[in-house]
Amino acid sequence: MKKPLRNALFGAAVAVIAALAFINAGTASETSTAKNKLALIAPAAPGGGWDGFAREGQQALKSGGVVNNVQVVNVPGAGGTIGLSQFVQTPGREDALLVTGGVMVGAIELGDNPESMADVVPIARMADDYAALVVPADSKFQTLNDFLEAWKKDPGATSIGGGSLGSIDHLLSAMVAKTVGIDPKDVNYIAYSGGGEALTSLLSHTTAAGMSGYNEVRDQIEAGTVRALAISSDERLEGVDVPTFKEQGVEASMSNWRGFVAAPGTTDETKAAFIEIVAEMRSTAHWQGALKRNSWTDTFSTGEEFEQFIKDEVATAQEIVKDLGL
Protein backbone atom coordinates (compact mmCIF):
# COMPACT_ATOMS: atom_id res chain seq x y z
CA MET A 1 0.00 0.00 0.00
CA LYS A 2 3.02 2.30 0.11
CA LYS A 3 2.95 3.09 -3.56
CA PRO A 4 -0.62 4.34 -3.98
CA LEU A 5 -0.08 6.58 -0.98
CA ARG A 6 3.02 8.03 -2.51
CA ASN A 7 1.15 8.52 -5.76
CA ALA A 8 -1.69 10.26 -4.02
CA LEU A 9 0.69 12.57 -2.19
CA PHE A 10 2.56 13.26 -5.38
CA GLY A 11 -0.71 14.07 -7.12
CA ALA A 12 -1.66 16.45 -4.34
CA ALA A 13 1.74 18.11 -4.50
CA VAL A 14 1.46 18.57 -8.24
CA ALA A 15 -1.95 20.12 -7.81
CA VAL A 16 -0.66 22.54 -5.17
CA ILE A 17 2.22 23.64 -7.33
CA ALA A 18 -0.04 24.00 -10.33
CA ALA A 19 -2.56 25.98 -8.29
CA LEU A 20 0.06 28.33 -6.96
CA ALA A 21 1.63 28.71 -10.34
CA PHE A 22 -1.71 29.79 -11.79
CA ILE A 23 -2.13 32.43 -9.15
CA ASN A 24 1.28 33.74 -8.39
CA ALA A 25 3.35 33.25 -11.45
CA GLY A 26 4.71 36.35 -13.04
CA THR A 27 5.20 38.35 -9.87
CA ALA A 28 8.86 37.53 -9.40
CA SER A 29 11.02 39.00 -12.10
CA GLU A 30 11.49 42.76 -12.24
CA THR A 31 14.07 43.11 -14.95
CA SER A 32 12.47 41.59 -18.01
CA THR A 33 10.78 43.78 -20.59
CA ALA A 34 7.09 43.72 -21.25
CA LYS A 35 7.45 42.14 -24.69
CA ASN A 36 8.87 38.99 -23.15
CA LYS A 37 6.93 38.78 -19.99
CA LEU A 38 3.88 40.65 -18.83
CA ALA A 39 1.65 40.33 -15.80
CA LEU A 40 -1.93 41.53 -16.07
CA ILE A 41 -3.05 42.33 -12.55
CA ALA A 42 -6.78 41.78 -12.12
CA PRO A 43 -7.88 43.51 -8.92
CA ALA A 44 -10.68 40.98 -8.50
CA ALA A 45 -11.18 37.36 -7.56
CA PRO A 46 -11.02 34.66 -10.24
CA GLY A 47 -14.35 34.70 -12.04
CA GLY A 48 -15.08 38.38 -11.47
CA GLY A 49 -15.61 40.93 -14.25
CA TRP A 50 -12.04 42.25 -14.27
CA ASP A 51 -10.69 38.73 -14.08
CA GLY A 52 -12.62 37.80 -17.23
CA PHE A 53 -11.32 40.94 -18.95
CA ALA A 54 -7.74 40.15 -17.94
CA ARG A 55 -8.03 36.56 -19.12
CA GLU A 56 -9.42 37.61 -22.49
CA GLY A 57 -6.47 39.98 -22.75
CA GLN A 58 -4.08 37.20 -21.83
CA GLN A 59 -5.49 34.93 -24.50
CA ALA A 60 -5.35 37.70 -27.11
CA LEU A 61 -1.75 38.60 -26.30
CA LYS A 62 -0.69 34.96 -26.38
CA SER A 63 -2.58 33.85 -29.47
CA GLY A 64 -1.56 36.95 -31.40
CA GLY A 65 2.08 36.42 -30.44
CA VAL A 66 2.25 39.96 -29.02
CA VAL A 67 3.85 38.96 -25.74
CA ASN A 68 5.57 35.63 -25.16
CA ASN A 69 4.66 35.03 -21.56
CA VAL A 70 1.49 36.55 -20.13
CA GLN A 71 0.16 35.83 -16.67
CA VAL A 72 -2.96 36.97 -14.89
CA VAL A 73 -2.44 37.81 -11.22
CA ASN A 74 -5.50 38.19 -9.01
CA VAL A 75 -5.41 40.68 -6.16
CA PRO A 76 -9.04 40.77 -5.04
CA GLY A 77 -10.76 43.07 -2.62
CA ALA A 78 -12.65 46.27 -1.88
CA GLY A 79 -13.77 47.21 -5.40
CA GLY A 80 -10.25 46.87 -6.76
CA THR A 81 -8.66 49.35 -4.38
CA ILE A 82 -6.55 46.64 -2.70
CA GLY A 83 -5.06 45.80 -6.07
CA LEU A 84 -4.48 49.49 -6.75
CA SER A 85 -2.71 50.13 -3.46
CA GLN A 86 -0.43 47.12 -3.99
CA PHE A 87 0.32 48.23 -7.52
CA VAL A 88 1.21 51.75 -6.43
CA GLN A 89 3.85 50.30 -4.14
CA THR A 90 5.93 49.00 -7.07
CA PRO A 91 6.92 52.20 -8.87
CA GLY A 92 8.65 51.96 -12.21
CA ARG A 93 7.62 48.36 -12.73
CA GLU A 94 7.99 47.53 -16.40
CA ASP A 95 6.42 44.09 -16.61
CA ALA A 96 2.93 44.64 -15.28
CA LEU A 97 -0.32 46.38 -16.18
CA LEU A 98 -3.20 46.88 -13.79
CA VAL A 99 -6.69 46.27 -15.05
CA THR A 100 -8.97 49.11 -14.02
CA GLY A 101 -12.31 50.66 -14.80
CA GLY A 102 -15.31 52.66 -13.70
CA VAL A 103 -15.96 50.47 -10.67
CA MET A 104 -12.55 51.30 -9.23
CA VAL A 105 -13.16 55.02 -9.64
CA GLY A 106 -16.40 54.71 -7.66
CA ALA A 107 -14.79 52.52 -5.01
CA ILE A 108 -11.95 55.01 -4.51
CA GLU A 109 -14.38 57.86 -3.96
CA LEU A 110 -16.55 55.84 -1.61
CA GLY A 111 -13.73 54.60 0.61
CA ASP A 112 -11.02 56.77 2.10
CA ASN A 113 -8.12 55.38 0.16
CA PRO A 114 -4.78 57.13 0.21
CA GLU A 115 -4.22 56.00 -3.38
CA SER A 116 -6.13 57.39 -6.32
CA MET A 117 -6.18 57.22 -10.10
CA ALA A 118 -3.71 60.12 -10.11
CA ASP A 119 -1.04 57.77 -8.75
CA VAL A 120 -0.95 55.51 -11.79
CA VAL A 121 -0.05 56.09 -15.44
CA PRO A 122 -3.01 55.69 -17.82
CA ILE A 123 -2.30 53.44 -20.79
CA ALA A 124 -5.53 52.68 -22.63
CA ARG A 125 -9.27 52.43 -22.42
CA MET A 126 -10.26 49.17 -24.09
CA ALA A 127 -13.94 48.34 -23.85
CA ASP A 128 -17.19 49.61 -22.41
CA ASP A 129 -20.55 48.25 -21.60
CA TYR A 130 -23.62 50.03 -20.32
CA ALA A 131 -26.24 49.84 -17.61
CA ALA A 132 -29.95 49.53 -18.29
CA LEU A 133 -32.98 50.42 -16.23
CA VAL A 134 -35.28 47.40 -16.26
CA VAL A 135 -38.65 46.50 -14.77
CA PRO A 136 -40.43 43.13 -14.56
CA ALA A 137 -42.57 42.25 -17.57
CA ASP A 138 -45.80 42.64 -15.58
CA SER A 139 -44.80 46.02 -14.13
CA LYS A 140 -47.15 48.95 -14.57
CA PHE A 141 -44.28 51.06 -15.90
CA GLN A 142 -44.36 50.88 -19.68
CA THR A 143 -41.98 53.72 -20.43
CA LEU A 144 -39.26 55.67 -18.71
CA ASN A 145 -41.72 58.51 -18.21
CA ASP A 146 -44.17 56.29 -16.31
CA PHE A 147 -41.38 55.26 -14.04
CA LEU A 148 -40.02 58.77 -13.53
CA GLU A 149 -43.47 60.10 -12.61
CA ALA A 150 -43.96 57.48 -9.92
CA TRP A 151 -40.39 57.95 -8.79
CA LYS A 152 -40.75 61.71 -8.39
CA LYS A 153 -44.00 61.28 -6.49
CA ASP A 154 -42.61 58.82 -3.98
CA PRO A 155 -38.91 57.99 -4.25
CA GLY A 156 -39.05 55.85 -1.09
CA ALA A 157 -41.69 53.45 -2.39
CA THR A 158 -40.04 53.17 -5.80
CA SER A 159 -36.96 51.19 -4.83
CA ILE A 160 -34.17 50.39 -7.28
CA GLY A 161 -32.05 47.29 -6.97
CA GLY A 162 -28.54 47.08 -8.37
CA GLY A 163 -24.90 46.29 -7.72
CA SER A 164 -22.90 47.21 -4.62
CA LEU A 165 -22.53 50.80 -3.42
CA GLY A 166 -20.18 52.81 -5.60
CA SER A 167 -20.88 50.63 -8.63
CA ILE A 168 -21.97 52.06 -11.97
CA ASP A 169 -25.53 50.96 -11.17
CA HIS A 170 -25.52 52.95 -7.95
CA LEU A 171 -23.86 56.09 -9.30
CA LEU A 172 -26.06 56.12 -12.40
CA SER A 173 -29.25 55.82 -10.31
CA ALA A 174 -28.16 58.86 -8.32
CA MET A 175 -27.22 60.74 -11.49
CA VAL A 176 -30.60 60.09 -13.12
CA ALA A 177 -32.38 61.10 -9.90
CA LYS A 178 -30.52 64.39 -9.74
CA THR A 179 -31.18 65.13 -13.39
CA VAL A 180 -34.93 64.73 -12.98
CA GLY A 181 -35.03 66.74 -9.77
CA ILE A 182 -34.99 64.08 -7.04
CA ASP A 183 -32.53 64.52 -4.18
CA PRO A 184 -30.09 61.60 -4.61
CA LYS A 185 -30.22 61.12 -0.84
CA ASP A 186 -33.89 60.15 -1.16
CA VAL A 187 -33.22 57.37 -3.67
CA ASN A 188 -34.15 54.03 -2.13
CA TYR A 189 -31.28 52.07 -3.61
CA ILE A 190 -31.02 48.43 -2.52
CA ALA A 191 -27.49 47.14 -3.00
CA TYR A 192 -26.86 43.53 -4.02
CA SER A 193 -23.52 41.86 -4.36
CA GLY A 194 -24.06 40.95 -7.99
CA GLY A 195 -26.20 41.37 -11.06
CA GLY A 196 -27.76 37.93 -10.60
CA GLU A 197 -29.04 38.72 -7.14
CA ALA A 198 -30.33 42.12 -8.21
CA LEU A 199 -32.18 40.48 -11.07
CA THR A 200 -33.84 37.95 -8.76
CA SER A 201 -34.97 40.75 -6.48
CA LEU A 202 -36.62 42.30 -9.49
CA LEU A 203 -38.31 39.08 -10.59
CA SER A 204 -39.61 38.50 -7.05
CA HIS A 205 -41.03 42.05 -7.11
CA THR A 206 -38.94 43.08 -4.13
CA THR A 207 -37.71 46.17 -5.92
CA ALA A 208 -39.76 48.26 -8.33
CA ALA A 209 -36.96 48.53 -10.87
CA GLY A 210 -33.44 47.32 -11.42
CA MET A 211 -30.29 49.05 -12.63
CA SER A 212 -28.10 46.40 -14.13
CA GLY A 213 -25.41 45.80 -16.73
CA TYR A 214 -27.16 45.52 -20.08
CA ASN A 215 -25.29 42.32 -20.94
CA GLU A 216 -26.42 40.68 -17.74
CA VAL A 217 -30.09 41.26 -18.53
CA ARG A 218 -30.01 41.05 -22.30
CA ASP A 219 -31.35 37.52 -22.45
CA GLN A 220 -34.06 38.24 -19.92
CA ILE A 221 -35.14 41.18 -22.07
CA GLU A 222 -35.24 39.00 -25.18
CA ALA A 223 -37.13 36.26 -23.36
CA GLY A 224 -39.64 38.84 -22.19
CA THR A 225 -39.23 38.37 -18.45
CA VAL A 226 -38.08 41.96 -17.97
CA ARG A 227 -38.57 45.17 -19.92
CA ALA A 228 -35.76 47.66 -20.50
CA LEU A 229 -36.83 51.30 -20.12
CA ALA A 230 -33.55 53.00 -20.88
CA ILE A 231 -29.85 52.38 -21.42
CA SER A 232 -26.99 54.54 -20.23
CA SER A 233 -25.04 54.89 -23.48
CA ASP A 234 -24.58 58.26 -25.19
CA GLU A 235 -26.12 57.09 -28.42
CA ARG A 236 -28.16 54.09 -29.45
CA LEU A 237 -26.06 50.97 -29.65
CA GLU A 238 -25.96 48.95 -32.79
CA GLY A 239 -28.28 45.98 -32.58
CA VAL A 240 -29.77 47.06 -29.27
CA ASP A 241 -33.41 48.04 -29.37
CA VAL A 242 -33.42 50.07 -26.17
CA PRO A 243 -33.70 53.87 -26.13
CA THR A 244 -31.07 55.85 -24.26
CA PHE A 245 -31.79 58.09 -21.29
CA LYS A 246 -30.72 61.07 -23.35
CA GLU A 247 -33.12 60.23 -26.15
CA GLN A 248 -35.93 60.38 -23.63
CA GLY A 249 -34.94 63.76 -22.30
CA VAL A 250 -32.89 62.69 -19.29
CA GLU A 251 -29.37 64.09 -19.58
CA ALA A 252 -27.59 61.17 -17.97
CA SER A 253 -25.07 58.76 -19.42
CA MET A 254 -22.42 56.57 -17.90
CA SER A 255 -20.37 53.63 -19.04
CA ASN A 256 -18.77 50.73 -17.33
CA TRP A 257 -15.37 51.12 -18.95
CA ARG A 258 -12.35 48.88 -18.61
CA GLY A 259 -8.76 49.61 -19.38
CA PHE A 260 -5.13 49.36 -18.36
CA VAL A 261 -2.88 51.54 -16.26
CA ALA A 262 0.86 51.25 -15.57
CA ALA A 263 2.80 51.67 -12.34
CA PRO A 264 3.73 55.13 -11.06
CA GLY A 265 7.04 56.44 -12.38
CA THR A 266 6.75 54.63 -15.71
CA THR A 267 9.08 56.27 -18.22
CA ASP A 268 7.69 57.71 -21.47
CA GLU A 269 9.59 55.06 -23.37
CA THR A 270 7.98 52.19 -21.43
CA LYS A 271 4.62 53.87 -21.68
CA ALA A 272 4.93 53.99 -25.45
CA ALA A 273 5.87 50.31 -25.46
CA PHE A 274 2.81 49.45 -23.38
CA ILE A 275 0.54 51.44 -25.69
CA GLU A 276 2.00 49.59 -28.63
CA ILE A 277 1.35 46.25 -26.93
CA VAL A 278 -2.32 46.98 -26.16
CA ALA A 279 -2.86 48.42 -29.65
CA GLU A 280 -1.51 45.20 -31.12
CA MET A 281 -3.64 43.20 -28.73
CA ARG A 282 -6.72 45.08 -29.88
CA SER A 283 -6.08 44.12 -33.48
CA THR A 284 -5.84 40.38 -32.78
CA ALA A 285 -8.63 38.13 -33.94
CA HIS A 286 -9.07 36.85 -30.40
CA TRP A 287 -9.70 40.32 -29.01
CA GLN A 288 -12.19 41.16 -31.74
CA GLY A 289 -13.95 37.89 -30.91
CA ALA A 290 -13.86 38.74 -27.21
CA LEU A 291 -15.52 42.11 -27.86
CA LYS A 292 -18.29 40.38 -29.71
CA ARG A 293 -18.66 37.51 -27.25
CA ASN A 294 -18.95 39.81 -24.25
CA SER A 295 -20.90 42.52 -26.11
CA TRP A 296 -18.29 45.08 -25.23
CA THR A 297 -18.22 48.30 -27.20
CA ASP A 298 -14.75 49.01 -28.55
CA THR A 299 -13.83 52.40 -27.08
CA PHE A 300 -10.10 52.19 -27.58
CA SER A 301 -8.34 55.40 -26.66
CA THR A 302 -4.89 56.24 -25.34
CA GLY A 303 -2.69 59.17 -24.44
CA GLU A 304 -4.15 62.53 -23.54
CA GLU A 305 -7.66 61.58 -24.56
CA PHE A 306 -7.70 58.72 -22.05
CA GLU A 307 -6.03 60.83 -19.35
CA GLN A 308 -8.69 63.51 -19.73
CA PHE A 309 -11.41 60.85 -19.69
CA ILE A 310 -10.18 59.49 -16.35
CA LYS A 311 -10.09 63.02 -14.90
CA ASP A 312 -13.69 63.60 -15.99
CA GLU A 313 -14.80 60.24 -14.59
CA VAL A 314 -13.19 60.99 -11.22
CA ALA A 315 -14.83 64.42 -11.10
CA THR A 316 -18.25 62.94 -11.93
CA ALA A 317 -17.90 60.21 -9.31
CA GLN A 318 -16.79 62.75 -6.70
CA GLU A 319 -19.78 64.93 -7.36
CA ILE A 320 -22.26 62.07 -7.19
CA VAL A 321 -20.78 60.68 -3.99
CA LYS A 322 -21.02 64.17 -2.48
CA ASP A 323 -24.66 64.45 -3.58
CA LEU A 324 -25.38 61.09 -2.03
CA GLY A 325 -23.96 62.36 1.25
CA LEU A 326 -21.69 59.35 1.63
Partner 1 sequence: MEQLELLMGGFANALTPINLLWVLIGAVLGTAVGVLPGLGSAMAVALLLPVTFSLEPTAAFIMFAGIYFGGLFGDSTSGILLNTPGNSSAMASTFEGHRMAKSGQAAKALATCAIGAFIGGLIATTLVVFFAPTLVKMATVFGPAEYFALAVFAFLAISAVVSESVIRGIAALGIGLALALVGIDGPSGTSRFTLGMPQLFDGISVIVITVGLLALGEVFHIASRIHRDPAATQIEAKGRARLNLADFRKALPAWLRGTAFGAPFGLIPAGGAEVPTFLAYGTEKQLAKRRNDPEFGTTGSIRGLAAPEAAANATAGTAMGALLALGLPTSATAAIMLAAFQQYGMQPGPLLFERSGDLVWALLASLFIGLVILVMINMPFASVWAKLLSIPKHYLYAGITVFSMLGVYAVSSAILDLWLLIAIGLIGFMMRRYNIPLAPVLIAVILGPMAETELRRALAVSEGDLGILVGSPITVTLYAVLAAALVLSAIQHLRHRRANRQAVLVP
- Residues near partner 1 (CB under 8 A) are 1, 4-5, 8, 11-12, 14-16, 18-20, 22-24, 45-47, 51-52, 55, 59, 73-78, 81-82, 85, 110-111, 113, 156-157, 159, 164-166, 188, 190-191, 193-194, 196-197, 199-201, 203-207, 218-220, 222-223, 225, 293-294, 326
Residues 89, 120, 318, CA angle at the centre, nearest 5°? 115
Whichever of 103 and 275 has its CB closer to partner 1, that residue is 103
Whichever of 275 and 324 has its CB closer to partner 1, that residue is 324
Q: How far is the CB of 15 from partner 1 (least distance, A)?
A: 4
Whichever of 216 and 313 has its CB closer to partner 1, that residue is 216
Q: How far is the CB of 78 from partner 1 (least distance, A)?
A: 4
Q: How far is the CB of 146 from partner 1 (least distance, A)?
A: 20
Whichever of 46 and 265 has its CB closer to partner 1, that residue is 46
Whichever of 15 and 28 has its CB closer to partner 1, that residue is 15
For 2-11, which contacts have Cβ atoms below 8 Å and span 24 or more sequence positions? none
Q: How far is the CB of 30 from partner 1 (least distance, A)?
A: 17
Residues near 315 by Cβ (< 8 Å), separated by ≥ 6?
Answer: none
Q: How far is the CB of 194 from partner 1 (least distance, A)?
A: 7
Q: How far is the CB of 272 from partner 1 (least distance, A)?
A: 30
Whichever of 91 and 196 has its CB closer to partner 1, that residue is 196
Q: Give a three-class secondary structure readout of the chain.
A: CHHHHHHHHHHHHHHHHHHHHHHHCCCCCCCCCCCCEEEEEECCCCCCHHHHHHHHHHHHHHHCCCCCEEEEEECCCHHHHHHHHHHHCCCCCCCEEEEEEHHHHHHHHHCCCCCCHHHCEEEEEEEEEEEEEEEECCCCCCCHHHHHHHHHHCCCCCCEEECCCCCHHHHHHHHHHHHCCCCHHHCCEEECCCHHHHHHHHHCCCCCEEEEEHHHHHHHHHHCCEEEEEECCCCCCCCCCCCECHHHCCCCCCEEEEEEEECCCCCHHHHHHHHHHHHHHHCCHHHHHHHHHCCCEEEEEEHHHHHHHHHHHHHHHHHHHHHHCC
Whichever of 13 and 272 has its CB closer to partner 1, that residue is 13
Whichever of 15 and 272 has its CB closer to partner 1, that residue is 15
Q: How far is the CB of 304 from partner 1 (least distance, A)?
A: 31
Residues near 105 by Cβ (< 8 Å), separated by ≥ 6?
Answer: 117, 310, 313, 314, 317
Q: How far is the CB of 275 from partner 1 (least distance, A)?
A: 26
Whichever of 19 and 279 has its CB closer to partner 1, that residue is 19
Q: For residue 124, which of 313, 266, 307, 315 has the smallest C-alpha distance?
A: 307
Q: How far is the CB of 95 from partner 1 (least distance, A)?
A: 17
